[in-house]
Structure 1
Amino acid sequence: MPSTFAFAVRHSDTFWFRGALPDVDATLRGDDEELTLEGSARVDSISVVEPEAMRASVLGSAFFDADRHPRLTFRSTAIRLTEDGQAEVEGELSMRGVGRPVFATGEYSPPRQAAFGEIAGLQLATTIDRREFGFDWQTEMPDGGVAVGWDVRLDVDLLLIREEAAGEG
């Protein structure tokens, strides 16, 4: 499925280190009165492949700790979708076994027919302090500054496909 969970963090105060977790499951349930968004991403699906040492570091205990925490999860507590396509979502994001409240904003594309069924789109962005989720690793650069920024931008792009209700043909 083309949904992704992407991240970007400043590296060496020089460039944006970007990655994505493309193995995403997400479900939007409810009606116009009350919606719930739940999702998860498989950490070892991370787009960082080479160099192998970088992949091992990102998946290792200093960062995602994928062996102990193979998935990150999200569950909404409030969703606001406007007629002009704006979206605001509040909920709890859990990474590395740590859950924290997050607030994200973005765009919503309402349901429409496509070749493979009824689809909708939801794109959300927020920034977190990685220390709040246990991503504490850091080293200082020889000329000052830090190797990896504390603030991480998260971008979620979801393709939502309506599932047929039980008993429907």
Structure 2
Amino acid sequence: MSTTKWSIDPTHSEIGFKVKHMMFTNVSGSFQKFDASIETEDDNFENAKIEFSGDVDSITTGNADRDTHLLSPDFFDAEKFPKLTFSATSFNKQNEGEYELKGELTLHGVTKPVKLEVEFGGLAKDPWGNVKTGMSITGKINRKDWDLNWNSALEAGGVLVGEEVKLHIELQFVKQ
């Protein structure tokens, strides 16, 4: 078996998240600068080696004031912790087209294990002859597990920012 390398196609990939605001609506955001790679045995993705990194200062939520606050020491402290990284520890097939991805997420100087669900889109050739693959990845993390603790109590009870962060990731890779 030979090792196959896959590089991210950033123009067809998104790293998104949602978090509750005031306990009843979601605020969406994304990271605009990121990189990812996969190494597989031939075209078999089971137990693939998957690496990801993102630039924290590329976060956007559509609101400049909120984005500035997220980059501050209250949240990500982007000056001190400029990258978030993920390194897979396992990528196992659950059902046809469904995988479980486990790995180590490092964020805000803290590394913790995470488990994500993957919908694997298969392989296809684009009009230029490149072999591509796509994945839709979802999961949830608790931001406090990575020491992202800032919050504000609401007068009516509850808090301004929810603890649970929902991840919605679309990745497309091209075979090297």
- TM-score, length-scaled by structure 2: 0.86
Q: Deviation at 1:131?
A: 0.5
Check the 8 A contact 1:4/1:23 in 2, yes or no.
Answer: no
Amino acid at match of 2:100: E
- Higher RCO (C-alpha 8 Å, min separation 6): 2
Within a 5 Å distance, the mapping from 1:9-20 to structure 2 comes to 9-20=19-30
- Report SS of the residue matched to 1:131: helix
- Matched residue pairs, number? 162
Match of 1:28 among 38, 45, 52: 38
Gaps of 5+ in 1: 164-169
CA–CA distance in structure 2, aligned partners of residues 82 and 109 of structure 1: 14
Match of 2:141 in 1: 128
- Residue 58 (structure 2) aligned to one of 21, 37, 45: 45
* Residue 161 of structure 2 is aligned to residue 148 of structure 1: yes
1:34/1:14 Cα in 2 relative to 1: closer, same or farther (>3 Å)?
closer
Partner of 1:79: 91
Q: Identity of counterpart residues, as a percentage?
A: 28
> Given the two structures, how large is their TM-score scaled by the length of structure 1?
0.89
**Structure 2 counterpart of 1:167:** none
Match of residue 100 from structure 1: 112
**Partner AA of 2:40 in structure 1:** G
SS in 1 for 2:145: helix
- Cα distance in 2 for residues equivalent to 1:83 and 1:16: 31
Residues 119 and 83 of structure 1: CA distance in aligned 2, closer, same or farther (over 3 Å): farther
For residue 83 of structure 1, report the CA deviation from its aligned partner.
Answer: 6.3
Letter in 2 for 1:115: P
Matched, 1:58 2:70: yes
Distance 2:148 2:107 in 1: 9
Q: How far does residue 14 in structure 1 lie from its aligned partner after superposition?
A: 2.4
Q: Where do 4+ consecutive residues of structure 1 move more than 6 Å?
A: none
| 2:84/2:106 contact within 8 Å kept | yes
